Structure 1
């Protein structure tokens, strides 16, 4: 060892801590050079550094920090530092650690040596998974049993750090581990007891579950640590110990199962000390119990008293807020400030706990209890109680299936929008916004007359936070509102919103701009009269540079204008397009302050929307913006990890090439941006079609190269989705079917090739969907051999999917442990995996359907395989539900696309399957069956007449079936499809049925409210029927004329009726109104409608003119 060089190294250990950047960098470079010159000597020098008691303690600590870093992470040139050292150097390091560790008295050095020793122990263990450096752990036990407080703590630190990666080996080889923990947990020095608790926590976080029960006996002493901390008022130890309990609850909840009731009371006692605790400490006992409840729900769900006590604690926490109203709360200037406040808000924490408990314990238990507490707190005169109650109430809406469950409370919430205290007003406004998000049309349709005025008044509140949040809640409301509701309130609301965009608060201005976008989306093309005003108000704002806190608002204003442009259409937007585009280009080139400027994402999204509205007129802008999007989509992200600056993608490449290769998917802002770039290119392709020709080759190469992008599943999925879009553009780029053929073959081959190595089932589903869409686009372009090859791959994919499902099922069967909630969660995970596999198989059934549709004369082998091998087992009553679903979908596709002509005698077999399914008690199977009956009425021709009576009876039974225990959403869609099928039979097979009685039955069960696609079909059928014979709907003597007017007020909405259908109904109503005998009843019925429904009637009569 060179003494001179050693002296230099010791000096460098101080210089690397210099406040002078240049001096520090120079010292780092010199140390790196020493390492590169002689790796072993470098480590020896570092060891001599921490040994030297005369050396400045900062230098000694630095030597240990550098040693630990090099052992832990290595360097890009030496990633496996320990194995690169000679045996002599390794022995030397171990010997010196043992020597210094046994004699050192300085607590700081001891702690750093302990951390370094643990890393060396882990490195030794990693070499052969057997050697656990027994001498080190023997010394640790000696220090723990005989040493002073610092030595005991450092010995426990070695265990804590080592247990992170070698817990199983330590447990298997150390018979005294339990006794050591038991003694140290009882140590009168609370810091030692905490160190012991931390070691046990690390063990439970790392060890195999089978070993955890061996340490349950320690739980009593473990719990005493936080209780002692409370008694000694040592809140730092209390916080640290609670952190460990929360970590253990998450990692090994079964550890606490047998003692949960006792623990519940102990941790409730900690909460009772909340008056002297910090906000964090108040939350930790609740966080611990909530974490346990999430992992083992039955521990709470089986004890309602525990649930009530838990909710009482949560509400107490939410009520215990400060009286002070700071200026920062009342008038936040920057949205980022609001986000920071929310993240630390105890009320928000309480709301999240209620949400988590509803999700885990179950809404059937939680909702009644929460509602009782909500009512009690809202009725209390104290504003803090009201604030807590309203905040809690907002959290339960997503668990409410029918608004009637909470409808009586909504007026109370609305009343509190005018409460004297701003936090109560804020909570009430938030509650309405959350209801709008979770209850959607149920709220907007039934409560718009009271909710919108309440939020409108709040938008003019004297407190900016309330004002801003009111705009946000109004935005939520109009996102879910129908067009006629949007139009009803648009003009009045828009005036206030535009005024708010001039606010000195970027929070107020930004939320107002976002709400303008939501109103425009609600009104759609009818927003056109208001667009000019919006442009006049907002274009001057976005054209200027703004302070940092207003950059997001500027982006939101851009978003509002471009969303509105999409809604009103190009004809209305054209006069303003040039000015807006010039402004956006100006911002993109001159106003952006780096890649993290919030305006940037808004600008990029704006181009996407403008492409959607301008379509081919957008082509001249492409040269200005395409380089940016190609850069985004082809970006090679650089993501650093740790102090070494290693690139994660380089690291993952090593993992990818290792024998233990596993599926990898990482997330980062750069990867998200790459994915956004791909999706935006797709929008340009979709809208510009043949005008995208100059970029076809480059984009095609890019997409094909990204199909196997191994680091991110979303990018692989997006690329698979993008290829069909690309194919559509190529087909229209004056190439036609023949010119697109090579691309189609290339894309499908590439998708099949990537499927072979794909391990993520969701990505596989996107790949199959991509193939299916390519087939839809190209039509009949494959020969029979290619169809057969494709089908064989699809069948192989189904087989592999079944194999993966069987593995998951076998795991669940092997791990069936009664009511063990952790095992239940593991089984639920496996079930979720199988649900994804089911989605893949259903997508494969759609791919088969595409082949039936486009290659019907080349499916002979496919049909043989289906009828002889697959369908008999899939349609068997004992088959799993998803198999039956797959089989029914295939059969319906066969009937729809191949029909009687190709199926021949097999058609009747298919019809019998469909008829049977239409009577199923399972709503999903029944929906497919009744849909198939409707399709058969068209494709079955004269054969259908043979079964028409039975078909009608089946549909009537399906329509009149009671929901019972069926899933409500699935039931409603099945019912709507049955009604639609009935209308199809009347349309295509009216000769063989009693039209009048069937029509009368149909009228008794409309309108359709759930499957709006089918609603449009049924409503168009009704319009045609009423046009040809009004008496069918109004009655022979027009006795049902009032009901007809009421029906029109209900169904004449853009979401469930096309404009052409509205014209038809308008014409019918106009013709009936011309009859003097009917005009009076029509007017009388019209006057009984509310204002919104009257506007609907007026609109259809105007369309008929």
Structure 2
């Protein structure tokens, strides 16, 4: 249990020890004492949460079998339930291609436990393990997505039975979790499969909706219901519009809920403070400000549901957009609840999209007169450092939705002032933390707190970079005069003595300058180019990735003026790609971007490099491991070369064929290329071409991993 508690607080120190920690904890899942088994599950689950997804990528072979073993512990329901709960922690951050390897085993175990516990519930009313297994099933489906399709019919009838027949108030949570599970499974398998049960589920949801007046305010079903409606909207898409008149009333009511507030003296507070429904802030010696918290979670969930409706239905939600904007914009200052403010700001770009059907003038007025000034003000005065980045992210999405010229000169001036203030604060907060590290009271506990602040500031900086990205993406070089006013801050971020996250986000901003202003960016080269080239081999993977991406867009968009710089980068990029640890999980994204940068140099800016020399090594560098965007670029070029039977790719006497098939197999297994794209078909055609010679094909297949073989087999079958 101590190990469980340490993970979040001692993240950096513990990450280096994970090998030993997992090896130490895992055997205790089979300890003879149930409390020890319970604690081991707790630790494994917490490690998955605190160190995911790397923990899942590195230790899945140890964690999954250990947790599945605990699910057999029929004699100790609490341990059994906790094993299932830890499996949820594992699934939440687990890459799909890893979970798929265990799906048959997980599903078989969950089905057996569900059947046993459902029988136990029917006979004795026991619900603890049943509730948890249903939650775990939902989490597995949520991660597995379309791979859950083949298991759908094994679970849906029983889940519908529980939803329809478990009406006893004592089992409200069980019913709520079942509603959640059904909607998550529906979302996972998609509309086509779910339609066979969709109408019945919708009728049951509507019945619960009409019965909602009889529900207590604290009925857990309410939150699950609201979330389920949002998922049903996502599943049905535009077809959900017909249900809006039935569901919008309660949602708007919940989102508009005004909490009860009171000023009470200290004596009255003593009587009220034991109530879980009230929270207090002391304003002076005798005065206390209290807020009734019951209903706040429902309000937050309702706001999140409105976000989903606006996002999914677009013009189908247009008739509600004005009413919802009038609810959401004032909630930007709803300081009683962070989740409400976050949902309010998240909704705004989607509501603008919804309103577009009413004409550009209407949208411009909604944005310019109402949303924009209030959002800028909210960013300026937001008290929580954890909420501020969500406001910045929303602002960036609004700019992307509206395009060039969406800010008046006055609003642009306000934005520059705001950016200036935030960036000044960023540097000042860093100085203050450095001073605290010199203080005589400094110790490990203080350091953990300072590191939390470091992470918060880095996240805010990433969203400032998003705002800059949105303007360069929509305004191109016309944004440069505005950017020049705050450019010195981003130059300062690149200094070698800055924290790695500063250098990462400083590079990302200059990546945007390169990508969106092309050769014009050359006039700023003295500010960033040397830093970008040296950062290719930085010790931090995130910095290497940002640098390599920048080199790639420099090659693609910078023009001949950058040819010498591109040539200078090649040896550094190759050293990153061919490093002994380049394919480790934590280095994968940086390596992918380095490969892509080499490809872009070969393709777009090759006047000063030996292309054939680079291509001779390309096959040995592949496959791409995780970056979907770069995978599209690299494999498009890869297929172009194959179409020409390029000797460097084919190898002498077509000796590279087994490697080429393995590259396609791994790419299909990792689902890096979307199935409904021409590129996916081109990659499958490589295998089909080899398949015409069965002897050669069998040699290629024999050298694949089991996962690669299975992924290719399914893909080729589906393609017929």
Instruction: Tell me which interval the TM-score lies in, with the shorter structure as reference length.
Output: 0.7 to 0.9
Match of 1:862 in 2: 482
Distance 1:1033 1:1050 in 2: 17
Does the 8 A contact of 2:73 with 2:80 survive in 1?
A: yes
- How much does 1:606 deviate? 0.8
- How much does 1:972 deviate? 4.8
Aligned-partner SS, 2:235: helix
User: 1:402-449 deviations in whole A, cap 9, x for unaligned?
Assistant: 7654676688457x38x6x66666666666656655665677667767
Match of 2:513 in 1: 894
Match of 2:349 in 1: 724
Residues 786/925 of structure 1: CA separation in 2 closer, same or farther (3 Å cut): farther
Match of 2:256 in 1: 634
875-884 or 499-508, which deviates more: 875-884
User: 1:848-897 deviations in whole A, cap 9, x for unaligned?
Assistant: 22222212353353254356x55555545566766554543332111111
Match of 1:582 in 2: 203
Residues 528/360 of structure 1: CA separation in 2 closer, same or farther (3 Å cut): closer
2:460 pairs, out of 840, 843, 850, with 840
2:697 pairs, out of 1079, 1092, 1096, with 1079
Match of 2:75 in 1: 463
Q: Does residue 668 of structure 2 align to residue 1052 of structure 1?
A: yes
- How much does 1:624 deviate? 1.9
Does the 8 A contact of 2:81 with 2:132 survive in 1?
A: yes
Distance 1:426 1:834 in 2: 34
- How much does 1:779 deviate? 0.6
405-414 or 642-651, which deviates more: 642-651
Distance 1:750 1:760 in 2: 17
User: 1:975-1014 deviations in whole A, cap 9, x for unaligned?
Assistant: 3322232233334346764344323433333444455654
Unaligned runs of 5+ in 2: none
2:144 pairs, out of 511, 520, 523, with 523
Residues 611/1030 of structure 1: CA separation in 2 closer, same or farther (3 Å cut): farther
1:950 pairs, out of 565, 568, 584, with 568
Distance 2:150 2:392 in 1: 44
Unaligned runs of 5+ in 1: 1-350, 365-398
Distance 2:592 2:207 in 1: 51
1:594 pairs, out of 202, 205, 216, with 216
Does the 8 A contact of 2:134 with 2:181 survive in 1?
A: yes
Distance 2:667 2:75 in 1: 41
Does the 8 A contact of 2:261 with 2:291 survive in 1?
A: no
Distance 2:498 2:72 in 1: 61
1:974 pairs, out of 565, 580, 590, with 590
Match of 1:755 in 2: 379
Aligned-partner SS, 2:672: coil
2:244 pairs, out of 591, 604, 622, with 622
Distance 1:782 1:759 in 2: 27
1:1094 pairs, out of 693, 697, 709, with 709
1:482 pairs, out of 66, 71, 96, with 96
User: 1:441-463 deviations in whole A, cap 9, x for unaligned?
Assistant: 67766776786666556545542
Distance 2:6 2:43 in 1: 19
- How much does 1:699 deviate? 0.7
- How much does 1:534 deviate? 2.7
Match of 1:210 in 2: none
Does the 8 A contact of 1:458 with 1:467 survive in 2?
A: yes
User: 1:557-609 deviations in whole A, cap 9, x for unaligned?
Assistant: 11111001111111222232111011112223337641222222211211111
- How much does 1:929 deviate? 1.8
Distance 1:423 1:548 in 2: 31
Match of 2:309 in 1: 684
- How much does 1:685 deviate? 0.7
1:115-130 map, 5 Å: none
Aligned-partner SS, 1:597: coil
Match of 1:744 in 2: 367
2:653 pairs, out of 1034, 1037, 1049, with 1037
- How much does 1:512 deviate? 2.3
Instruction: With the length of structure 2 as denominator, give the TM-score of the two structures.
Output: 0.84
Residues 549/1069 of structure 1: CA separation in 2 closer, same or farther (3 Å cut): same
Q: Does residue 556 of structure 2 align to residue 938 of structure 1?
A: yes
Distance 1:620 1:459 in 2: 42
Match of 1:241 in 2: none
How many residue pairs get matched? Answer: 699
User: 1:663-694 deviations in whole A, cap 9, x for unaligned?
Assistant: x9989453333222211111111111111122
Query: What RMSD over aligned residues (CA atoms) do the two structures have, in Å?
Result: 4.1
Distance 1:363 1:903 in 2: 37
Aligned-partner SS, 1:674: helix
Does the 8 A contact of 2:618 with 2:649 survive in 1?
A: no
Q: Does residue 427 of structure 2 align to residue 785 of structure 1?
A: no
Aligned-partner SS, 2:295: helix
Aligned-partner SS, 2:544: helix
1:217-232 map, 5 Å: none
Does the 8 A contact of 2:57 with 2:585 survive in 1?
A: no
Residues 727/520 of structure 1: CA separation in 2 closer, same or farther (3 Å cut): same
Distance 1:783 1:615 in 2: 32
Match of 2:183 in 1: 562
Distance 2:494 2:68 in 1: 56
Match of 1:17 in 2: none
Residues 441/1074 of structure 1: CA separation in 2 closer, same or farther (3 Å cut): farther
Match of 2:395 in 1: 771
- How much does 1:801 deviate? 1.8
Distance 2:382 2:51 in 1: 38
User: 1:46-80 deviations in whole A, cap 9, x for unaligned?
Assistant: xxxxxxxxxxxxxxxxxxxxxxxxxxxxxxxxxxx
Residues 403/1074 of structure 1: CA separation in 2 closer, same or farther (3 Å cut): farther
Distance 2:683 2:173 in 1: 46
Distance 1:409 1:671 in 2: 42
1:423-502 map, 5 Å: 459-463=71-75, 465=77, 466-479=79-92, 480=94, 482-483=96-97, 484-485=100-101, 487-489=103-105, 492-493=108-109, 495-500=111-116, 502=118
Distance 1:609 1:471 in 2: 23
Residues 501/524 of structure 1: CA separation in 2 closer, same or farther (3 Å cut): farther
- How much does 1:710 deviate? 3.5
Does the 8 A contact of 1:1062 with 1:1100 survive in 2?
A: no
2:163 pairs, out of 537, 542, 551, with 542
Residues 599/791 of structure 1: CA separation in 2 closer, same or farther (3 Å cut): closer
User: 1:250-305 deviations in whole A, cap 9, x for unaligned?
Assistant: xxxxxxxxxxxxxxxxxxxxxxxxxxxxxxxxxxxxxxxxxxxxxxxxxxxxxxxx
Distance 2:446 2:316 in 1: 51
1012-1021 or 497-506, which deviates more: 1012-1021
Aligned-partner SS, 1:854: helix
The higher relative CO (CA closer than 8 Å, separation ≥ 6) is in: 2
- How much does 1:1057 deviate? 3.4
Aligned-partner SS, 1:918: helix
